[in-house]
Amino acid sequence: MAALVVLFNLKDENAREAYEQWAKNTDVPTASSMSSVDSFKVFKLGNIMGTENESPYQYCEVLEINDMAKLGEEVGSEAMQKVAAEFQTFADNPMFIISEQIA
């Protein structure tokens, strides 16, 4: 199984509540409805060791993908293009990483 991992910070620190509500009400439900996505979770990041070694990213999205080719087709839909554009208004230079589970 593959996973798409997205690491990012918000463009505007004051947008945390707006982003989190948008993620819960729009992003997760829309992306989760794609047949190529088995699960989609959004994580708020921190550091277990305290603030001196703070995480370089505020958020992490993890999408478990069952069919990468199908995902490529589905992200081109009008609904997903709208969600992607909205995401870009929140996220500052997001890092998209494809991963493959090995264990």
**pLDDT tens digits, 77-93:** 999 999 999 999 999 99
Position with higher pLDDT, 101 vs 17 = 17
> For 25-57, what is each residue's pLDDT tens digit?
999 999 999 999 999 999 999 877 666 677 899
Share of the chain above pLDDT 90, in %: 86
| Number of Cα atoms under 13 Å in the Cβ half of residue 22 | 16
Cα gap 100→89, rounded to integer Å? 28
Cα gap 81→62, rounded to integer Å? 18
Cα gap 24→32, rounded to integer Å? 11
CA-nearest of 4, 3, 20 to 90 is 20
Burial of 81 (0-12, 13-18, 19+ CB in 10 A): exposed
User: In this predicted structure, what is the pLDDT of residue 51?
Assistant: 63
